[in-house]
Amino acid sequence: MKNAILKFGVWERSKKLRRKTVTAKVGNISIGSDHPVVVQSMTNTDTSDVKRTVWQIKDLAAAGSELVRVTVNNDSAAKAVPLIIENLEKQNIRIPVIGDFHYNGHLLLTKYPVCAESLAKYRINPGNVGTKTRDKNFTTIVEQAINFQKPIRIGVNWGSLDKQILTEMMDENSKHIHPLPARDVTINAMVESALRSALLAENVGIAHNMIILSAKVSGVQDLITVYRQLAGKCEYPLHLGLTEAGMGNKGIIASTAGLSALLQEGIGDTIRVSLTPQPGGDRREEVYVAQQILQSLELRSFTPQVTACPGCGRTTSTLFQKLADDINTYIKEQMPSWRIQYPGVEALNVAVMGCVVNGPGESKHANIGISLPGTGEDPKAPVYIDGTHATTLKGEHIAEEFQKLLNDYIVKNYS
Ligand code: SF4
**Coil, helix or strand at residue 273:** coil
- Torsions phi, psi of 153, nearest 5? -110, 125
Rounded average pLDDT over 179-203: 97
> What is the CB < 6 Å shell around ligand 1?
309-312, 314-315, 353-355, 357-359, 374
Expressed in angstroms and rounded, the spacing between residue 355 Cα and the centre of ligand 1 is: 5
Expressed in angstroms and rounded, the spacing between residue 315 Cα and the centre of ligand 1 is: 7
pLDDT of residue 316: 66
Residue 12 above 80 pLDDT? no
Q: Are 352 and 369 in contact (CB under 8 A)?
A: yes
Rounded average pLDDT over 8-21: 68
H or E segment to which residue 90 belongs: helix 75-90
Q: Are 60 and 283 in contact (CB under 8 A)?
A: yes
pLDDT digits (tens, 9 = 90+) for 32-42: 999 999 999 99
Distance CA 301, CA 310 (A): 23
Atom of ligand 1 nearest to the CA of 362: 1
Atom of ligand 1 nearest to the CA of 358: 1
Q: Which of 306, 307, 309, 371 to mutate to test the pocket of ligand 1 (most atoms within 8 A of CB)?
A: 309
Rounded average pLDDT over 216-225: 96
Atom of ligand 1 nearest to the CA of 315: 3
Residue 10 above 70 pLDDT? no
Helix axes 50-63, 285-296, angle to 10 degrees: 20
Expressed in angstroms and rounded, the spacing between residue 313 Cα and the centre of ligand 1 is: 8
Smallest CA separation from ligand 1 atom 2, residue: 355
pLDDT digits (tens, 9 = 90+) for 377-407: 778 899 999 999 999 999 888 889 999 999 9
Expressed in angstroms and rounded, the spacing between residue 359 Cα and the centre of ligand 1 is: 7
Expressed in angstroms and rounded, the spacing between residue 345 Cα and the centre of ligand 1 is: 27
Q: Which residue has the higher pLDDT, 73 or 13?
A: 73
Rounded average pLDDT over 117-129: 96
Rounded average pLDDT over 222-240: 98
Q: What percentage of the chain has pLDDT greater than the value 90?
A: 80
Residue 25 above 70 pLDDT? yes
Q: Which of 352, 358, 362 to mutate to test the pocket of ligand 1 (most atoms within 8 A of CB)?
A: 358
Distance CA 408, CA 415 (A): 10
Q: Which residues pair with 157 in a beta bridge?
A: 216
Expressed in angstroms and rounded, the spacing between residue 323 Cα and the centre of ligand 1 is: 15
pLDDT of residue 8: 43
Rounded average pLDDT over 195-204: 98
Expressed in angstroms and rounded, the spacing between residue 249 Cα and the centre of ligand 1 is: 25
Atom of ligand 1 nearest to the CA of 313: 8
Residue 345 above 60 pLDDT? yes
Torsion angle of the four alpha carbons 182, 186, 192, 196, in this order, in degrees rounded to the nearest 10: 120
pLDDT digits (tens, 9 = 90+) for 276-317: 988 888 999 999 999 999 999 999 999 999 999 888 888 867
Instruction: Tell which residue, 211, 242, 214, 235, has the closest CA to residue 121.
Output: 211
Rounded average pLDDT over 188-215: 98
Expressed in angstroms and rounded, the spacing between residue 357 Cα and the centre of ligand 1 is: 6
Residue 329 above 80 pLDDT? yes
Residue 4 above 80 pLDDT? no
Rounded average pLDDT over 197-217: 98
Smallest CA separation from ligand 1 atom 7, residue: 357
Computed over every residue of the chain, the mean pLDDT equals: 93
Distance CA 251, CA 412 (A): 39
